[in-house]
A and B are shown apart, each in its own frame.
Chain A
Amino acid sequence: ETGVTQSPTHLIKTRGQQVTLRCSSQSGHNTVSWYQQALGQGPQFIFQYYREEENGRGNFPPRFSGLQFPNYSSELNVNALELDDSALYLCASSFASVSTDTQYFGPGTRLTVL
């Protein structure tokens, strides 16, 4: 049991809509990272939040945005959904933002865009 939770489990949206995904980090962790995992692919880093500030971003357009709250939970927002946004969205929490820290992944949110 990793302690990282995500909601919702599954979500179906249509192209052009907006979506918000949520993540609660493991107790004691102040860093949350978000990943997109397309079917049959490895997770791709979207961005990381450390103490409520964005602390690194992957190669994703600005319509992917996020927030981290004082309790270190986090949201991922995606605007103007496209068909290619269909994927498993994973969040991972870690104790700190250092590169050697272990990440603990949540179960993911499966997003389908029609």
Chain B
Amino acid sequence: GQQVMQIPQYQHVQEGEDFTTYCNSSTTLSNIQWYKQRPGGHPVFLIQLVKSGEVKKQKRLTFQFGEAKKNSSLHITATQTTDVGTYFCVYTGNQFYFGTGTSLTVIP
């Protein structure tokens, strides 16, 4: 079945450094959503991207959908300890498919 890979699987950064996670698909995606799951918590919706080449920003977070709609990225500028968690890209077909996730650790 369709699978979306995320890289890296784990990322440790010093507080204040930037962070990027990438989501790659072998097939064209109709849309992509990003969720964040804090340790011990549940996934929380961040953003949805629908259009080719779309870029959306939420404060320090920048989300991008590739021109071919086969990849997406989430970039966090100047990470803070509150950014700790696992970031999932989620694509939707007839169901919601979660990517493999990137676990972010921020070292104070």
Chain A: interface secondary structure? Answer: loop
A54 to chain B, nearest CB (A): 12
A58–B99 touching, CB < 8 Å: no
Q: Which of A41, A56, A102, A103 is the one whose CB lies under 8 Å from B94?
A: A56
* Residues of chain B with a CB closer than 8 A to A41's CB: 101
Which residues in chain A, 11-69, are within 8 Å of chain B measured between CB atoms? 33, 35, 41-45, 48, 56-59
Query: Could you tell me which A residues sit within 8 Å of B by CB distance?
Result: 2, 33, 35, 41-45, 48, 56-59, 90, 92, 99-100, 102-108
Chain B: interface secondary structure? Answer: loop
B95–A48 touching, CB < 8 Å: yes
Q: Does B59 contact A (CB under 8 A)?
A: no
* Residues of chain A with a CB closer than 8 A to B1's CB: 59
B45–A44 touching, CB < 8 Å: no
B94–A44 touching, CB < 8 Å: no
The answer for the CA separation of A39 and B75 in the assembled complex, in Å, is 25
